Amino acid sequence: MSFVQLNPPMPLHVLGKGPGFAVAVIDYGQEHNLIWVTAISATGEIWCAPNPQVRMEGNWTMGRAKSPLFKGDAPQGGKTCDAEAAPLSVVEN
């Protein structure tokens, strides 16, 4: 298992949660997805998102378009993603 702090944090989009900044990556080994420790911009929540739920943000200067798997930037507006993988679920305590 390895834990890598990202410095500087990396902008990305977590499907079902919205845009944020990855502050770390956890690698549990070859039989597991990478886990992105991400601060969600709209809510300030910290989520550990598995690799299939994470997309790079669009970058005009690099010629990278926004991922077609998400619409809008924040889940608060009731918008959902078009991803085949199910969005992360929220567990209320």
Per the CB < 8 A criterion, the answer to whether 25 and 6 are in contact is yes
pLDDT at residue number 46: 96
pLDDT at residue number 87: 54
Percent of the chain with pLDDT over 90: 58
HSE-CB at 50 with a 13 A cutoff on CA atoms is: 11
Q: pLDDT tens across 38-82, in order?
A: 999 999 999 999 999 999 887 777 777 777 766 654 444 444 444
Per the CB < 8 A criterion, the answer to whether 29 and 52 are in contact is no
Percentages of the chain per state (helix, strand, coil), in multiples of 5: 10, 40, 50
At residue 93 the predicted structure's pLDDT band, cuts being 50, 70 and 90, is: low
